[in-house]
């Protein structure tokens, strides 16, 4: 299997937007010094999130992979697939 990943320009634009909102929050909180790093394509592999569909109601969440307990009858999810987003990320 070969997996190729590349950040989409919209992803980079969103990262810049969110970075600017973070600066605004820090300024509103009274931060004295704020540093913004450059937003660029990720040089390594990312941690993709939100790839397993989740739901407790079979009628409302058809083709559900996992329930809120992150298990199914035959599958245990042990990665970030059940997270719709991440609280933080780091880039080298």
pTM of the model: 0.48
Residue 6 confidence (pLDDT): 82
Tell me the two tokens of residue 13: 């634009």
Burial 42-61 (b: 16+ CB within 10 A, else e): beeeeeeeeebebeeeeeee
Spatial distance between the Cα atoms of 19 and 13, rounded to a whole number of angstroms? 10
Q: Where are the domains of the chain?
A: 1-40, 47-92
User: Of 4, 11, 17, which Cα lies nearest the Cα of 41?
Assistant: 11
Cross-strand partners of 71: 76
Which residues contact residue 46 at a Cβ distance below 8 angstroms, ignoring those fewer than 6 apart? 5
pLDDT in tens, the chain (92 residues): 776 778 889 989 999 999 999 999 999 999 999 999 999 988 766 666 766 766 666 666 655 566 555 555 566 666 777 676 666 555 55
Residue 66 confidence (pLDDT): 60
Residue 73 confidence (pLDDT): 59
Residue 90 confidence (pLDDT): 53
């Amino acid at each position: 299997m070969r997996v190729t990943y590349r950040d989409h320009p919209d992803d980079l634009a969103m990262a810049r937007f969110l970075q600017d909102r973070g600066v605004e929050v820090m300024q509103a909180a009274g931060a004295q010094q704020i540093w913004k790093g450059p937003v660029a394509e990720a040089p390594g592999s990312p941690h993709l999130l939100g790839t397993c569909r989740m739901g407790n109601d079979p009628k409302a969440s058809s083709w559900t992979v996992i329930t809120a307990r992150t298990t199914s009858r035959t599958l245990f999810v042990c990665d970030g697939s059940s997270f719709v987003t991440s609280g933080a990320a780091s880039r080298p």
